[in-house]
A and B are shown apart, each in its own frame.
Chain A
Amino acid sequence: MEEGKIKELYQKIKKDALISQRSVFYFCAYVPQELIYASGFLPVRILPSPIYFERSDEYLPKYLCPYLRSVTEEILKEEKRPEMAIFTDGCDSSKRIYEVWKYLNLSKNIYFLPIPFGENKEDIEYFAKNLKDLFYFLNKEGKKENIFESIKLYNLGRKKLREFWEFYLLFYSMDIREFLDLSWNSKNRRGGKRFYLFSTMYPFELIEYMESLNLDILYDDSCFGIRTQEEIEIIKEDPFYTLSYYYLKREGCVRRRNIKDKIFKIKERIKGENVSGVIFYSLKYCDPLLFYIPILREELKKENIPSLILEDDFTMGIKGQIRTRIEAFLEMVG
């Protein structure tokens, strides 16, 4: 499979998922695909294309997460009711947009998964209980043994992803068995300037546009990017505890307070890679990210790693500026 076909295939998966009774939409990387798959459903991550906000403005103040607003806008425009959607309290926007979906009845089943910030034993147990509730909500007769099988499959998927991160989009959205059957040409790096991308959510079109400018994103450190690639280790017989432990402790999200670790990882990754700097795709109104970037940037400064902030609201309104901003940045870093 060619790199250029990813989006095409993804669009098809998304379209089918909208009318499928087996699909579960999710938006946050704390939702374990393994669990959804083991319950007999297909986890489908929704990534909308940049869209003009029209219908969602009536229900959502514009200063909520533009990613979730775009998803909502897309669903409202499609006028289809997906079978199931899972929201989390990963951030304040998410917990409120969940309520709006409930009010508008945008999906036949809408589930809310609470996630703790803590990572101690009692927090892991608490999250494990929440995952268990989710599992049996999805399928009352679900067999928890299936979760281990599912973990194995997704671990294989993660291994496969190491070759080519652009396939994350498919990994998170298609049937894992079909994903494992995919074959693709390994990436031919373009030889343009290389960057490390840091964000929560960004539109796929950002990568396309950067590539059209001969700029190469070597690492994607976003919610569904490289920070999710660690494999799951079975640490207990209880699959819920195992999953809970993994999701709360992996490199993960900007909600985590592992700054030192994060800097270490960034340094390790870019070592010897001739990366020009870190690009922050700063998604407007995304609180966890907007509070995190200043801390990370300060640490990067100490390590002499240059960084650039591109602020956008998921509409790619920034497009016109990207070239000049990056040119100026490259001039500055020499």
Chain B
Amino acid sequence: MKIDLENIDVKRIREILRFPLVYPLGRIFIKLKFRKDKITSVSYEYALDLVKHNYMGKNKVVITNILMPSELFFALNLFPLLPEVASAFTASIGFADKTLFHSEEIIYSKDLCSVHRNVIGLTRGGILPNPDFIISTSHPCHSALHSFFLISQFFGGEYLPIDIPLKNNNFIGYTAKKFEELFFLLAKKLKIKNPIYGLERAINYSNLARNYLVEINELRKKYLVIDGKNFLDYAGMIFSTFGSHWGVKFFKTLRDEIKERIKKKKFLPYKKRVYWLHLGPYFKTDFFDWLRSKSCAIVFEESSKVYWDELDPKDPFNSLAKKVVNARIFSDVEERFRLALEGVKEYGAEGVIIFNQWGCRQGAGNSYILRRKLIEKGIPAIVIDGDLIDKGNFPLEQIKTRIEAFLEVL
């Protein structure tokens, strides 16, 4: 069935999504359609639950950014919506051209991060529900702080920014206090008594999911059975499901699938191995197929790194604060350099691809010197200036030519 994206009736779809029956039917459909692909099945079931929570009009809607601990929301039975995930999804179904266009009615500049332009367009077009709470950390980027404020001004929603004193362990308490205050504020607004029980559950789920992801990453060190391109797609699950049973289910399914493939010796035959920094394009492109056709696999990615310790259920706010304050991904050049070196060593990568998102000043800003630092260490590295969402900013042929030359060096 081909959906006519141009003439999609958003209002009608939003009305349909208010019917409870849609969801069990949707689940049956997903289970049938993806019965052979359990990973996709679980991620779609999660997406359906996310839609159910946010579109049926019964729950409060919270928009947040990638490094805000989702555990705090799941503890309160909130299903957080992330711009990256919403944007990746719209781009993957070919809808982003339209939503980016919608955003221009509000923001005139195309020089802003397309993830956030897209999310403004999605809200403007009524595709995303108007948020009740808009919560963002100051790390990894300020784009969320700015775009969320704009959304709150145009579409409503309580704006709650959280400062992260990055890598300053003297200020763990400062961040922990902010998380704690936010948590109890939300609990009060949602009239949840004893919210701390929910938090304990969320922390336990988070630790379970983390353990599966750690195991997955260990297996990937030895066996190449799933290309990293898939893991770039799973980044949304890493950023948005920790603290929920979906996170546990997804990463367990993924771990089982990897083990199964190893057992059946379904190893990928690619000869060249690269480590990938930042996320990757989410719109339809043959880029990754082309990369594989050149016998090149992505063996690990910045976004899959488990950089935090197990959370302490007895000290939830402090351990969540530690997780965010010490976030190693999407960080400064020294940290990304260390990550790349680890990636190269542990996953046997021969080179590094640094993907730049147009408009992502925090990600792209240190990419040129990061490349130089890697080359100084004898590790081939290349920077691709592209876009996650806006295919207009992804000069495919030019990128292929450059990557081809790069692969020859490996």
Contacts and interface: CB of A to CB of B under 8 A. Distances in A.
Given A59-B369, A96-B366, A309-B108, A118 B161 contact: yes
B367 A61 contact: yes
B149 A91 contact: no
A64 interface: yes
Interface string A36-72: 0000000000000000000000111101110000000
A145 interface: no
Contacts of A282: 109
Interface stretch (A10-18, A19-27, A77-85, A288-296): A288-296
Which of A63, A65, A295 counts the most B-chain CB atoms under 10 A from its CB?
A: A63
Nearest to A65: B361
Nearest to B153: A295
A167 interface: no
Given A92-B361, A92-B362, A61 B333 contact: no
A96 B368 CA distance: 11
Contact count band on A: 35 or more
Given A96-B362, A114-B165, A291-B146, A122 B333 contact: no
Contacts of B171: 126
A298 B364 CA distance: 31
A291 B147 contact: yes
A311 B109 CA distance: 9
B365 A99 contact: yes
B107 interface: yes
Interface in B121-158: 138, 141-143, 145-147, 149-150, 153-154
Contact of A287 (B143, B165, B369, B373): B143
Contacts of B333: 99, 103
B368 A92 contact: no
A122 B366 contact: no
A299 B288 CA distance: 45
Contacts of B153: 259, 295, 298
A117 B143 contact: no
Given A59-B369, A99-B365, A126-B174, A287 B142 contact: yes
Interface in A71-122: 89, 91-93, 95-97, 99-100, 103-104, 114, 116-118, 122
Contact of A126 (B163, B359, B364): B163
Given A91-B142, A96-B366, A99-B366, A290 B112 contact: yes
Main secondary structure of the interface of B (DSSP, over half): mixed
A285 interface: yes
Given A257-B149, A292-B146, A100 B161 contact: no
A7 interface: no
B150 A60 contact: no
Query: In terms of DSSP, what is the predominant structure of the interface of chain A?
Result: helix
A76 to B, nearest CB: 14
A60 B111 CA distance: 16
Interface string A279-312: 0001011011011111100100000000001010
Interface in B239-294: none
Interface in B149-182: 149-150, 153-154, 159, 161-163, 165-166, 168, 171, 174, 177-178
Contact of B364 (A64, A118, A294, A309): A64
B174 A117 contact: no
Given A103-B369, A291-B150, A93 B361 contact: yes
Contact of A117 (B106, B145, B361, B367): B145
B87 interface: no
Interface string A142-186: 000000000000000000000000000000000000000000000
B366 A100 contact: yes
Interface string B379-410: 00000010000000000000000000000000
Contact of B146 (A97, A287, A309): A287
Contacts of A285: 111, 359, 361
Interface string B173-195: 01001100000000000000000
Contacts of A291: 107, 112, 143, 146-147, 149-150
Q: Which interface residue of B109, B161, B162, B372 has the most chain A CB atoms within 10 A? A: B109
A216 B332 CA distance: 43
A165 B143 CA distance: 32
Nearest to B116: A291
A267 B112 CA distance: 29
A288 B142 contact: yes
B207 interface: no
Contacts of A257: 149, 159
B356 interface: yes
B107, B147, B163 interface centre (most CB from chain A within 10 Å): B163
Contacts of B109: 282, 284, 290, 311
Nearest to B356: A61
A114 B107 contact: no
A295 B151 CA distance: 9
B205 interface: no
A298 B150 CA distance: 11
Given A59-B369, A61-B356, A92-B361, A295 B163 contact: no
Contact of A63 (B107, B146, B174, B364): B364
A13 B1 CA distance: 69
Contacts of A288: 142, 146
24 contacts: A61-B367, A61-B368, A92-B143, A93-B365, A95-B362, A95-B365, A96-B364, A99-B332, A100-B368, A100-B369, A103-B373, A104-B369, A116-B165, A123-B163, A126-B174, A255-B142, A282-B109, A287-B142, A290-B107, A291-B143, A291-B147, A292-B146, A294-B108, A298-B153
Given A103-B333, A257-B149, A295-B149, 17 more contacts: A59-B369, A61-B368, A89-B138, A93-B361, A95-B332, A99-B369, A114-B166, A117-B161, A122-B177, A259-B153, A290-B107, A290-B111, A291-B112, A291-B143, A291-B150, A294-B108, A295-B150
